[in-house]
A and B are shown apart, each in its own frame.
Chain A
Amino acid sequence: MSQPLPAHSAQVPVLALGDVLLVSLQGELHDGMAEQLQQDITQRISTDRMTGVVIDISGVDMVDSFLGRVLAEIASTARLLAARTVLAGMRPAVAITLVELGLTLPGLVTALDVDRAMELLNQRGS
């Protein structure tokens, strides 16, 4: 089988691009993994002195209230550590569903893709 089974979902890649952390969420994310990710990102912001976080969710086909809350909490925690978070690449079907679910993530800065998210962080940083 080419597709990984949900029970063995891949680790979440977290890359440092200068002082920006790029986190690429893909496929199935277990609740426990999402919470672990939240801790990892927070840790790396503080130890590696990151000033921005880009969370790429272009590979995510569903955001429910649990994942939505984790994303919002990552952004609030980053803010307390003086880093800004941009959520990049949300799929249209996910956006439509989130609004109907009642979760509009008001505190989250968004961008259409990772490039624009990086631009946004660079602009606001200067």
Chain B
Amino acid sequence: MQRSGQVSATSLPIGSDADLAWVRQEVRQCAAGLGFGLVQQTKLVTAASELARNTLVHGGGGRVEITPLDNGRSRGLRMSFIDDGPGIRDLELAMTDGYTTGGGLGLGLSGAKRLVHEFSVDTEPGRGTTVTAVAWVTQVPASRPGL
């Protein structure tokens, strides 16, 4: 059975590039507090920065919900980036390295996915996008398929 262990979920607005800095700082502090090592913290903060920028630039702004997790064996962090922007028409294409509709490098979605343990996108054209990323504190570096 999974205890969700939601001690304190934090919700932050994403409406400007100053907000992106706040999101990074909050994720860094939360991850450090949960016992994530430096490399994992850096991966989480980088994934958060990519996904929050997508919420801002492609989604027209929104918010992030940051939730500490505890499944009984390890602690983790869930970040959900939520907007009610245009949505993603072709998710498979959007998840391709290098694909961008906005003049970026096209590494945000695909790269963020590689930086965390669980990754999901819930999107519908015209209704918005929610991207959820979860990482767990690992003692030994996790080996993941595709690496």
Give the B-binding residues of A (Cβ under 8 A). 6-7, 9, 28, 30-32, 61-66, 68-69, 91-94, 96-97, 100-103
Min C-beta distance of B129 to chain A, whole Å:
18
A to B CB contacts below 8 Å, 21 in the list = A6-B18, A6-B25, A7-B22, A28-B24, A31-B20, A62-B49, A64-B46, A64-B50, A65-B107, A66-B49, A93-B39, A97-B42, A97-B43, A101-B50, A101-B114, A102-B97, A102-B107, A102-B110, A103-B105, A103-B107, A103-B111
Residue B33 at the chain A interface, CB threshold 8 Å: no
- Bound complex: CA of A64 vs CA of B110, how far in Å? 13
Give the A-binding residues of B (Cβ under 8 A). 17-18, 20-22, 24-25, 28, 38-39, 41-43, 45-46, 49-50, 53, 97, 104-105, 107-108, 110-112, 114-115, 147
In the complex, which residue of chain A has the Cβ closest to the Cβ of B103?
A69
Min C-beta distance of A52 to chain B, whole Å:
26
Q: Are A6 and B39 in contact (CB under 8 A)?
A: no
Contact A65 B105, CB 8 Å, known A7-B21, A31-B20? yes
Min C-beta distance of B22 to chain A, whole Å:
5
Q: Are A101 and B111 in contact (CB under 8 A)?
A: yes
Q: Are A101 and B17 in contact (CB under 8 A)?
A: no
